[in-house]
Amino acid sequence: MMNESQSVDGRICETCAVACQRFGWHRNGLRRFRCPLCKRTYTEAHTRTLDTMYISQDRAVLALQLLLEGNSIRSTERISGMDRNTIMSLLVKAGKKCECLMYEKNRNVPVRDVEIDEIWGFCQKKEKNRRDQEKGIYGIGDAWCFCGIERSSKLLLAYHLGKRDRQSTDRFIGKLHYATGDSRFQLTSDGWAAYPAAVGLVLRGRADYAQLIKVYSTPREGEQRYSPGDVVEAVPVPVMGLPKRNRICTSHIERQNLSIRMGMRRMTRLTNGFSKKWENLEAAYSLWFAYYNFCRVHSSLRVTPAMEAGIEGHIWTIAELIA
């Protein structure tokens, strides 16, 4: 006959309808129980992190916080004690959730000044190092992330990870159109040749568009490989509509590019932390942009960009981000 002191929380076997006994611990730290008659085991009631993962929410938040502060997968593994495969799985699941969140929240946002730019990265290897048999594979080589930011609120409106080509440009401008709704705004970009046609086709007169063309000097001795020359001139060029000259600027989106390289280990130059899978790189971008919009207090605004834009009323935690 079972000792009543071994019965915990009135856990009843669904098959035998008798009280269960303690039976150790589950790998996620929750208690387990076993029926003394049919030997069926049960786990203490719980909610899985991101619907599928056994790790606790606290450990998941710690791992994601470390990744968002510029740590690599292996350093996160050493600090958190979690397996690197679990961390990468967590990153992918959190990234997909954040991608959906960005589409849900960044819709019909009223904007006034928008700046767009592209940031270069690569997956597995740089474009010039691809073998002939790898040139038809999309997930290998250069990876360009197109980003659009609202100048006043610093809200990241839209992004798209792809190649630096016409197709990716069109998709990005389409996402920007979705995020800005019917707002008329001034748009500034760099001199990428695919922008004018995409803006004219997708935004259809909603944007007063200008490009800021930068003229570089010749790189100094020893800088040819990793550093461009100094900017000697930035020439504003109106493209369509009536853009105001004093608002033609890309400084804010370029500062966002710096934040990306500081906050995402896989985007840090001259390291071995680069992405080996396109899916992981895309998830890392999604997680970073959602964190930047909803969780990270901007130093000059004193609130998050989402609060400044009026689409949220409080500072989110990472736990809310992945809930």
For 149-185, what is each residue's pLDDT tens digit?
999 999 999 999 999 999 999 999 999 999 999 889 9
For residues 234 and 112, membership in a common domain is answered with yes
Pairwise CA distance, residues 114 & 154, whole Å: 9
For residues 83 and 221, membership in a common domain is answered with yes
Q: What digits encode the pLDDT tens for the residues 295-322?
A: 999 999 999 999 999 999 999 999 999 8
C-alpha of 91 from chain center: 10
Write down the pTM of the prediction. Answer: 0.85
For residues 17 and 93, membership in a common domain is answered with no
Does a structural domain hold residue 64?
A: no
Pairwise CA distance, residues 58 & 45, whole Å: 17
Does a structural domain hold residue 313?
A: yes
For residues 161 and 278, membership in a common domain is answered with yes
Domain boundaries, position 17: 4-43
Does a structural domain hold residue 126?
A: yes
For residues 77 and 209, membership in a common domain is answered with yes
Report the share of the chain in percent with pLDDT over 90: 70
Q: Which helix (H) or strand (E) holds 142?
A: strand 141-150
For residues 27 and 128, membership in a common domain is answered with no
For residues 23 and 126, membership in a common domain is answered with no
For residues 98 and 217, membership in a common domain is answered with yes
Q: How many domains does the chain have?
A: 2
For residues 30 and 129, membership in a common domain is answered with no
For residues 178 and 273, membership in a common domain is answered with yes
Does a structural domain hold residue 63?
A: no
